[in-house]
A = this chain, B = another copy of it.
Amino acid sequence: MTSPARTRLAPDERRSQLLDLGVRLLATRSLDELSIDVLAEEAGISRGLLYHYFGNKHAFHEAVVRRAADDLIAQTAPPVEGEPLERLRVSVTAYVDYVTANYEGYLSLVKGAAGGNDALREIYEEARSALTDRIFREDARGQIVADTPTTRLLVRGWSAMAEELVLSWRAEPAGVSREELLAILAASLPALVEVIAPG
Protein backbone atom coordinates (compact mmCIF):
# COMPACT_ATOMS: atom_id res chain seq x y z
CA MET A 1 0.00 0.00 0.00
CA THR A 2 1.51 3.30 -1.12
CA SER A 3 0.43 6.48 0.61
CA PRO A 4 -1.24 9.20 -1.48
CA ALA A 5 1.60 11.63 -0.71
CA ARG A 6 4.05 9.29 -2.36
CA THR A 7 2.03 8.53 -5.44
CA ARG A 8 1.72 12.23 -6.18
CA LEU A 9 5.46 12.51 -6.80
CA ALA A 10 6.71 12.04 -10.35
CA PRO A 11 9.41 9.34 -10.66
CA ASP A 12 12.16 11.98 -11.12
CA GLU A 13 11.12 13.75 -7.95
CA ARG A 14 10.98 10.50 -6.03
CA ARG A 15 14.42 9.53 -7.31
CA SER A 16 15.74 12.94 -6.33
CA GLN A 17 14.28 12.58 -2.82
CA LEU A 18 15.94 9.19 -2.48
CA LEU A 19 19.29 10.71 -3.50
CA ASP A 20 18.92 13.41 -0.87
CA LEU A 21 18.21 10.72 1.69
CA GLY A 22 21.28 8.81 0.47
CA VAL A 23 23.44 11.91 0.92
CA ARG A 24 22.08 12.42 4.46
CA LEU A 25 22.79 8.79 5.33
CA LEU A 26 26.29 9.14 3.88
CA ALA A 27 27.13 11.85 6.42
CA THR A 28 27.68 9.22 9.10
CA ARG A 29 28.42 6.15 6.95
CA SER A 30 31.05 5.12 4.45
CA LEU A 31 29.91 4.33 0.94
CA ASP A 32 30.38 0.61 1.67
CA GLU A 33 27.99 0.91 4.59
CA LEU A 34 25.32 2.61 2.49
CA SER A 35 23.64 -0.50 1.13
CA ILE A 36 20.40 -0.74 -0.81
CA ASP A 37 18.99 -2.46 2.29
CA VAL A 38 19.80 0.53 4.52
CA LEU A 39 18.27 2.97 2.06
CA ALA A 40 15.16 0.80 1.58
CA GLU A 41 14.64 0.66 5.33
CA GLU A 42 15.22 4.38 5.90
CA ALA A 43 12.99 5.34 2.96
CA GLY A 44 10.32 2.82 3.94
CA ILE A 45 10.11 1.38 0.43
CA SER A 46 10.99 -1.97 -1.10
CA ARG A 47 14.42 -2.98 -2.38
CA GLY A 48 12.77 -3.76 -5.69
CA LEU A 49 11.59 -0.19 -6.11
CA LEU A 50 15.08 1.09 -5.32
CA TYR A 51 16.56 -1.17 -7.99
CA HIS A 52 13.88 0.19 -10.31
CA TYR A 53 15.11 3.76 -9.66
CA PHE A 54 18.86 3.08 -9.70
CA GLY A 55 19.53 -0.14 -11.59
CA ASN A 56 22.21 -1.56 -9.29
CA LYS A 57 24.25 -0.77 -6.22
CA HIS A 58 27.15 0.81 -8.12
CA ALA A 59 24.87 3.09 -10.10
CA PHE A 60 23.09 4.04 -6.86
CA HIS A 61 26.39 4.85 -5.13
CA GLU A 62 27.58 6.84 -8.12
CA ALA A 63 24.34 8.84 -8.21
CA VAL A 64 24.50 9.58 -4.46
CA VAL A 65 28.15 10.65 -4.64
CA ARG A 66 27.43 12.87 -7.63
CA ARG A 67 24.60 14.52 -5.69
CA ALA A 68 26.88 14.94 -2.66
CA ALA A 69 29.56 16.53 -4.87
CA ASP A 70 26.99 18.93 -6.34
CA ASP A 71 25.90 19.84 -2.80
CA LEU A 72 29.50 20.48 -1.79
CA ILE A 73 30.08 22.71 -4.81
CA ALA A 74 26.85 24.63 -4.19
CA GLN A 75 27.40 25.06 -0.44
CA THR A 76 30.97 26.29 -0.83
CA ALA A 77 30.23 28.82 -3.57
CA PRO A 78 32.08 32.01 -2.70
CA PRO A 79 29.97 35.17 -2.45
CA VAL A 80 29.80 37.12 -5.70
CA GLU A 81 30.70 40.37 -3.96
CA GLY A 82 33.66 41.24 -1.81
CA GLU A 83 37.43 41.31 -1.80
CA PRO A 84 39.00 38.20 -3.37
CA LEU A 85 40.57 37.04 -0.11
CA GLU A 86 37.36 37.56 1.84
CA ARG A 87 35.51 35.46 -0.75
CA LEU A 88 38.16 32.76 -0.35
CA ARG A 89 37.72 32.81 3.43
CA VAL A 90 33.96 32.37 3.19
CA SER A 91 34.35 29.50 0.73
CA VAL A 92 36.98 27.74 2.82
CA THR A 93 34.80 28.06 5.94
CA ALA A 94 31.91 26.41 4.11
CA TYR A 95 34.27 23.65 2.95
CA VAL A 96 35.41 22.91 6.51
CA ASP A 97 31.80 22.87 7.72
CA TYR A 98 30.72 20.58 4.89
CA VAL A 99 33.51 18.06 5.43
CA THR A 100 33.02 18.17 9.19
CA ALA A 101 29.28 17.50 8.86
CA ASN A 102 29.65 14.84 6.14
CA TYR A 103 32.88 13.29 7.32
CA GLU A 104 32.27 9.56 6.79
CA GLY A 105 30.89 9.90 3.29
CA TYR A 106 33.50 12.45 2.23
CA LEU A 107 36.32 10.26 3.52
CA SER A 108 34.98 7.24 1.65
CA LEU A 109 34.77 9.31 -1.55
CA VAL A 110 38.40 10.43 -1.18
CA LYS A 111 39.49 6.84 -0.50
CA GLY A 112 37.44 5.37 -3.32
CA ALA A 113 38.71 7.96 -5.80
CA ALA A 114 42.33 7.46 -4.77
CA GLY A 115 41.98 3.69 -4.63
CA GLY A 116 41.20 3.26 -8.28
CA ASN A 117 37.38 3.34 -8.53
CA ASP A 118 37.15 5.13 -11.89
CA ALA A 119 33.58 6.38 -11.49
CA LEU A 120 34.36 7.88 -8.07
CA ARG A 121 37.66 9.27 -9.34
CA GLU A 122 35.86 11.09 -12.15
CA ILE A 123 33.31 12.66 -9.80
CA TYR A 124 36.05 13.57 -7.35
CA GLU A 125 38.22 15.20 -10.03
CA GLU A 126 35.25 17.13 -11.43
CA ALA A 127 34.37 18.41 -7.97
CA ARG A 128 37.94 19.39 -7.24
CA SER A 129 38.22 21.21 -10.55
CA ALA A 130 34.96 23.04 -9.85
CA LEU A 131 36.25 24.08 -6.43
CA THR A 132 39.70 25.20 -7.58
CA ASP A 133 38.65 26.80 -10.88
CA ARG A 134 36.78 29.42 -8.86
CA ILE A 135 40.08 30.65 -7.57
CA PHE A 136 41.06 31.66 -11.10
CA ARG A 137 37.72 33.13 -12.09
CA GLU A 138 37.90 36.83 -12.73
CA ASP A 139 35.34 39.30 -11.46
CA ALA A 140 35.13 43.04 -11.01
CA ARG A 141 37.67 42.98 -8.19
CA GLY A 142 40.08 40.64 -9.95
CA GLN A 143 41.16 37.04 -9.52
CA ILE A 144 42.06 35.53 -6.17
CA VAL A 145 45.18 34.14 -7.85
CA ALA A 146 46.64 35.02 -11.30
CA ASP A 147 46.23 32.14 -13.75
CA THR A 148 49.60 30.64 -14.81
CA PRO A 149 50.83 27.04 -15.14
CA THR A 150 52.76 27.45 -11.88
CA THR A 151 49.79 28.83 -9.93
CA ARG A 152 47.58 26.06 -11.37
CA LEU A 153 50.02 23.50 -9.98
CA LEU A 154 50.28 25.39 -6.70
CA VAL A 155 46.50 25.57 -6.23
CA ARG A 156 46.28 21.84 -6.91
CA GLY A 157 48.85 21.28 -4.16
CA TRP A 158 47.09 23.72 -1.83
CA SER A 159 43.79 21.93 -2.33
CA ALA A 160 45.40 18.57 -1.44
CA MET A 161 46.80 20.25 1.67
CA ALA A 162 43.40 21.74 2.55
CA GLU A 163 41.77 18.31 2.25
CA GLU A 164 44.44 16.65 4.37
CA LEU A 165 44.25 19.40 7.01
CA VAL A 166 40.47 19.17 7.33
CA LEU A 167 40.35 15.36 7.37
CA SER A 168 43.25 15.09 9.86
CA TRP A 169 41.77 17.78 12.08
CA ARG A 170 38.32 16.18 12.02
CA ALA A 171 39.83 12.79 12.92
CA GLU A 172 42.07 14.21 15.67
CA PRO A 173 41.85 17.93 16.48
CA ALA A 174 44.75 17.65 18.98
CA GLY A 175 43.79 20.94 20.57
CA VAL A 176 43.73 22.93 17.32
CA SER A 177 40.58 25.09 17.26
CA ARG A 178 38.25 25.50 14.29
CA GLU A 179 39.26 29.16 14.14
CA GLU A 180 42.94 28.26 13.92
CA LEU A 181 42.23 25.75 11.18
CA LEU A 182 40.20 28.31 9.21
CA ALA A 183 42.95 30.91 9.62
CA ILE A 184 45.55 28.46 8.30
CA LEU A 185 43.43 27.46 5.32
CA ALA A 186 42.53 30.99 4.27
CA ALA A 187 45.98 32.52 4.82
CA SER A 188 47.99 29.65 3.34
CA LEU A 189 47.02 30.21 -0.28
CA PRO A 190 48.17 33.87 -0.42
CA ALA A 191 51.32 32.86 1.49
CA LEU A 192 52.07 30.15 -1.09
CA VAL A 193 51.42 32.52 -3.99
CA GLU A 194 53.83 34.97 -2.40
CA VAL A 195 56.48 32.20 -2.49
CA ILE A 196 56.37 32.02 -6.29
CA ALA A 197 55.71 35.67 -7.01
CA PRO A 198 57.17 37.78 -4.21
CA GLY A 199 56.02 41.35 -4.12
Interface window among A75-83, A139-147, A158-166: A158-166
Q: Residue A44 at the B interface, CB < 8 A? A: no
Query: Residues on A close to B: CB < 8 A?
Result: 110-112, 114-117, 149-150, 152-154, 156-165, 168-169, 174-176, 180-181, 183-184, 187-188, 191-192, 194-196
Name the prevailing secondary structure of the A interface residues: helix
Partner of A162 from the list B116, B157, B165 (CB cut-off 8 Å) is B157
Give the Cβ gap from A108 to chain B, nearest Cβ, in Å.
9
Q: Which B residues are CB-close (under 8 A) to A176? A: 149-150, 153
Q: Using Cβ atoms and an 8 Å threshold, which residues of chain B touch A114?
A: 110-111, 114-115
> Is the beta-carbon distance between A149 and B164 smaller than 8 angstroms?
no
